[in-house]
Amino acid sequence: MIDVVAIVGPTASGKTALSIELAKRLNGEIINGDSMQIYRDMTIGTAKILPEEMAGIPHHLLDIKEPDESFSVAEYQTLVREKIADIRARGKMPIIVGGSGLYVQAVLFDYRFSVEPVDQSLRDSLHQELEEFGPARMHQKLMKLDPQSDIHPNNTRRVVRAVEILMSSDQEKGDRELALSPMYNEAIIGLDIPRDVLYERINQRVDTMVERGLVEEVQALRQRGIREVQSIQAIGYKEIYAYLDGQGSFEEAVVKLKQNSRKYAKRQFTYFKNKLPIFWIDARLDLEKNLEEITAFMQETDRNCRIDKLTANQTQVEK
């Protein structure tokens, strides 16, 4: 039997609408799979689902942190695994929904994080590399380890720390970027969409965000003195912060926001297609058609899970 479902895909691909309808069919509850939607008072820029859009479906791990608090993949992993156990114990299906590939991967697979202090030799090596080649090289290293990182290239201290943590992660089979051993019988659904269609959706979404009050949302954070923290490095916030700080015009900020969102979507596609075993569906298709495809896929996956379990049991008996 399937233990957990995940719906992933790039920004603006239609994950929210699909997740609501799938949750209705599966008696499911939704777990946030977006690294920025965990922050309070950051709704418009993160495209966070509104209460009136939830259709009565319970949503978890939204608005659990203040904007000036830090948050890590390791913390997310712990919280979501606890939430999965709780939802399943109540006889419901946990459905992780979001675009943060590393976060979803860390939950569903045996992705381990070192609890020991970073090895001093590794730290010395990274600082030597930083001194020799500069911050840009170090940020490139981070992006290879975590393509979805939102840490600003100029925040060198946090860049180096993130690289330290990622490089010291204790992965089985010698692969610290991807643990191949699944933690659950999972079904990962991915929304695929042609780039030109997606980029137009992204442009329209940014325009809608501005109309809904993105600038005012960022201004409120700025007035609270929230600066140089993890949350405001997110796309949609750093561009408007720059504008409010006098670094370019409003029009330039919107153009930059659209560009960064499109680049991020491209990185998301790359990560999903290289790192996760995904059943892809066409995001342009009718919602009902996609639900039918997902249902058929899950039934087949359930059947295979039962066969694998019977085979394993039979092997144990023979021994």
Query: Is the pLDDT reported for residue 177 higher than 90?
Result: no
Q: For residues 74 and 65, what is the distance between their CA atoms, to the nearest angstrom?
A: 15
Q: For residues 97 and 12, what is the distance between their CA atoms, to the nearest angstrom?
A: 13
Residue 162 belongs to what domain range? Answer: 114-168
Tell whether 55 is in a known binding site: no
For residues 83 and 31, membership in a common domain is answered with yes
Q: For residues 21 and 18, what is the distance between their CA atoms, to the nearest angstrom?
A: 5
Q: Give the CATH number, domain containing residue 48.
A: 3.40.50.300
Q: Are 160 and 223 in contact (CB under 8 A)?
A: no
Q: Are 114 and 176 in contact (CB under 8 A)?
A: no
Please give the structure tokens belonging to residue 83: 């939430």
Q: What is the DSSP letter of 224?
A: T
Residue that finishes a domain, picked among 125, 152, 168: 168
**Which pLDDT score is estimated for 249?**
97
For residues 233 and 313, membership in a common domain is answered with yes
Q: pTM to 2 decimals?
A: 0.80
For residues 179 and 212, membership in a common domain is answered with yes
- CA triple 317-181-159, angle to 5 deg: 165
Tell whether 13 is in a known binding site: yes
**Which pLDDT score is estimated for 316?**
42
pLDDT tens digits for range 81-116: 999 999 999 999 999 999 999 899 999 998 876 555
pLDDT tens digits for range 246-273: 999 999 999 999 999 999 999 999 889 9
For residues 236 and 136, membership in a common domain is answered with no
For residues 224 and 295, membership in a common domain is answered with yes
For residues 212 and 299, membership in a common domain is answered with yes
Tell whether 11 is in a known binding site: yes
For residues 154 and 293, membership in a common domain is answered with no
Tell whether 295 is in a known binding site: no
For residues 27 and 175, membership in a common domain is answered with yes
Query: Is the pLDDT reported for residue 19 higher than 50?
Result: yes
C-alpha closest to that of 142 among 124, 158, 163: 163
For residues 106 and 140, membership in a common domain is answered with no
C-alpha closest to that of 57 among 28, 86, 81, 35: 28
**Which pLDDT score is estimated for 116?**
52
Q: For residues 317 and 38, what is the distance between their CA atoms, to the nearest angstrom?
A: 46
Tell whether 15 is in a known binding site: yes
For residues 174 and 299, membership in a common domain is answered with yes
For residues 197 and 277, membership in a common domain is answered with yes
Tell whether 16 is in a known binding site: yes
For residues 106 and 148, membership in a common domain is answered with no
In total, how many domains does the chain have?
2
Q: Are 172 and 181 in contact (CB under 8 A)?
A: yes
pLDDT tens digits for range 286-317: 999 999 999 999 998 877 765 554 444 444 43
